[in-house]
Amino acid sequence: MQVKRLSLAIASAAFCLFAQTAAHAADTVVANSFSDDAAHRRADMLVKQLTLDEKLQLIHSKYQMSDVPGGGAGYIEGVPRLGIPSINMVDSATGGGSTVQPSTTFPATIALAASWDPVLAYQFGGVIAHQLRQQGFAMGLGGGTNLAREARGGRMFEYLGEDPVLAGEMLAERTRATQDHKVIATVKHYVGNEQETNRMGGNDTIDERTLRELYLLPFELAVKQGQPGNVMCSYNKINGTYACENPHVLNDVLKGDWHFQGQVQSDWGAAHSTAPAINAGLDEEEDVGPTVFLTPDLVKQALANHQITQARLDDMVRRKLYVMIRTGVMDDPPKGGETIDFDAARRFAQHAEEQSIVLLKNQDRQLPLDAASLKHIAVIGGHADVGVITGGGSGDTRDPVTGAFPGCGGLTFPNSTGCNWWPNPWIKLPTPITTAIKNLAPNATVSFAGNQDMQSPFRAYTQQEIDAAVNLARQSDVAIVFVTQSGGEDFGELHSLALANPSNQDALVEAVAQANPHTVVVLESGNPVLMPWKDQVSAIVDAWYPGEGGGNAIANVLFGKVNPSGKLPVTFPLRDADTPTWDGGNIAQNPVYSEGLKMGYRWYDAQHIQPMFPFGHGLSYTHFAYSDLHVRQHGDQSTTVSFVLRNDGPVAGAEVPQVYLGLNDPVEPPKRLVGWEKVSLKPGEARCVTIEIPAKMRRVWDTSRNGWKIAQGGQFYVGASSRDIRLEQK
């Protein structure tokens, strides 16, 4: 089901009432038919023609990583005599992960979530998939959507934030676009893979209600609306059983309740058995050796011992063939070796970043900068003169087209297994931030001060470097300080949300802020950041991991060529200790999700903790007024929420009004996000925004019946963030 949103330019609030009726009459639900009979019949026919050995070849990625053609991560050899092509797969969270073919580095996935724009998510998926096909890949392994339960999570940059509906809707769009480009899409890591600590098998204890309402929900939305061909099961255990042999999450929920017809693939090395995994719903194993379980010999043995049935093996193969047929990979496999238009991709990367940057603070309208009135601009720190930081691990581009700095740059994470195959936390920019700023302020001098050592880019600032930065700031009209936070797969969690690597970035910001009252801080991070200097600086901009268009995008936002419109997809707390999982700094080896439904903003709301910047927060260079709320309930079905949004500030801009629902249920946190829309308005323009809230947004898991029920009543709120509620249902 997809929700159509309707907004109309209006002259008066009365018109908004009319629009509300019209919106409902037009109906809001578009059904997708996942089941494609012809594809199923054709897959059945093929299964009948395959020999046992050919079937076994199709359920096990045959090669070790270094042998995968094209620098991908896995490879399933096809059956040419039946016209079944090979499947070459590659990571693709923020761009292609080929180790031997250059790829565009897009902004991190968390940035995409910060755009709150499903249309952008569709474009993002499409542009990446297009490049993958040109490189010869038939399957993309992007599509991570574990929730930001652990604020210090090493892989948070690869995911879509802390709200299951925001994450699920964005992922569904990305998935649809990927497959519209004839690349099989993956959603991962199914499920409960919210941390890196003990990453190869920690046991998550999660009660069923919490699992259904939070951690399964983004997958449910993406599976039902986006119909991915592939679901990757995760490394961890859920309530005592490994995810890749967990019959509850695979058979009961994914294939049973949600009618998923694609294949389940193990994360690399996440299979732990042959028959139990196959019978629980695993369809394909990825071989990273030395311990493998779905090899031809072991599966034959399981068949001979009647531990698995021939029918189940056929089902595994049929699922793969069905997906290949339905996505177009069967009849039109990617050829690879095509010329890629990297300039066009970079322009899109810049556009995506511009839509994702979040303006966190803007005291006295410090931003946008006025180029004409500035003579001296200080750019400080973060290697802003050469490049940007990216997330590490499989969620990164491994061979960025723009070039990477060598090595891991002295990352100092706990539990790190090293950076031997994760080469590039830092990429060079064709237009570094300093150059992009200079281009927008041609009459000003733009000077850089910082740690310029790219051999060890995380080295702490020396006192001399801090002094030089302070001197420069003192002589400048504005000081723009870049701070970075590294993070990545296999690096463990961050110790703290405080800036690290270099560890003395807070001291740098504080010293610069003392020297210049016009200090602007730009963050490059995949996680929330603590900011002890928040009240000492004039403006704060979150650029996430900006990707290779980041230089121009950041400069365009700083100088107002682009009006920021991103909103936080994660809460930024005041202290580590305020986060739901803080346990004096210990990250549990086997996490117990004892906070239940109180995760992300739900936690801060329920515990009455004031965040530093709440979920959904993001400022603009204009101002938006909200008025005339109307809520109309359609029996037990959907609800129409409509209101007038007016740009009553000086410039054009986009706002993301958010609809929250508070349910009358003592177990539920005070509110949940149930809808939003990204609305662009010219100065003075007003629009009636009508958001249809389907009944399923009222679902709560009824533990007494082990099923869903639709909660009645409750109260709707419309806000500019989860804590900036502008309209309330009376």
Binding site for ligand BGC (CB under 6 A): 73, 91, 141, 188, 267-268, 394
For 334, phi then psi, to 5°, come to -65, 140
Do residues 277 and 244 make contact, with C-beta atoms less than 8 angstroms apart?
Answer: yes
Q: Which residue do the tokens 């270099």 mark?
A: 502
**Nearest distance in Å: CB 244, ligand BGC:** 12
For 587, the token pair is: 């990250």
Please give the Cα distance from 74 to 57 (Å, whole number). Answer: 13
Q: Which is nearer to ligand BGC, 39 or 141 (CB)?
A: 141
**Nearest distance in Å: CB 254, ligand BGC:** 18
**Nearest distance in Å: CB 267, ligand BGC:** 5
Q: Which of 644, 648, 642, 643 is nearest to 624 (CA)?
A: 648
Q: Which is nearer to ligand BGC, 117 or 287 (CB)?
A: 287
DSSP category for residue 700: E
**Nearest distance in Å: CB 201, ligand BGC:** 13
Q: Which is nearer to ligand BGC, 24 or 149 (CB)?
A: 149
Q: Which of 267, 283, 287, 605 is catalytic?
A: 267
**Nearest distance in Å: CB 491, ligand BGC:** 12
For 218, the token pair is: 């983004």
Please give the Cα distance from 604 to 611 (Å, whole number). Answer: 7
**Nearest distance in Å: CB 689, ligand BGC:** 37
**Nearest distance in Å: CB 142, ligand BGC:** 8
Beta strands 376-380 and 478-484 are parallel
Please give the Cα distance from 649 to 429 (Å, whole number). Answer: 34
DSSP H stretches of helix in 307-422: 310-327, 342-356
Please give the Cα distance from 397 to 269 (Å, whole number). Answer: 21
Alpha carbon of 262 to those of 223, 236, 259, 317: distances in Å? 9, 22, 9, 10
Beta strands 6-9 and 686-693 are antiparallel
**Nearest distance in Å: CB 317, ligand BGC:** 22
Q: Which is nearer to ligand BGC, 243 or 429 (CB)?
A: 243
Do residues 509 and 515 make contact, with C-beta atoms less than 8 angstroms apart?
Answer: no
For 371, phi then psi, to 5°, come to -55, -40
Is 449 in a helix, a strand, or coil? strand
Q: Which is nearer to ligand BGC, 73 or 645 (CB)?
A: 73
Q: Which is nearer to ligand BGC, 186 or 638 (CB)?
A: 186
Q: Which is nearer to ligand BGC, 155 or 678 (CB)?
A: 155
Q: Which is nearer to ligand BGC, 420 or 704 (CB)?
A: 420
Q: Phi-psi category of 545—alpha, beta or left, where left has phi over 0 and alpha has psi -120 to 50?
A: beta
Please give the Cα distance from 536 to 172 (Å, whole number). Answer: 41
Strands (E), 165-236: 186-190, 203-204, 230-233
Beta strands 376-380 and 445-449 are parallel
Q: Which is nearer to ligand BGC, 73 or 87 (CB)?
A: 73
Find the angle CA(115)-CA(116)-CA(122) to the nearest 5 degrees: 85
Please give the Cα distance from 92 to 187 (Å, whole number). Answer: 11
Beta strands 672-676 and 658-662 are antiparallel
**Nearest distance in Å: CB 395, ligand BGC:** 7
Q: Is 583 marked active-site?
A: no
Q: Which of 721, 719, 699, 720 is nearest to 708 (CA)?
A: 699
Residue 87, H or E segment: strand 87-90
Residues with a known catalytic role: 267
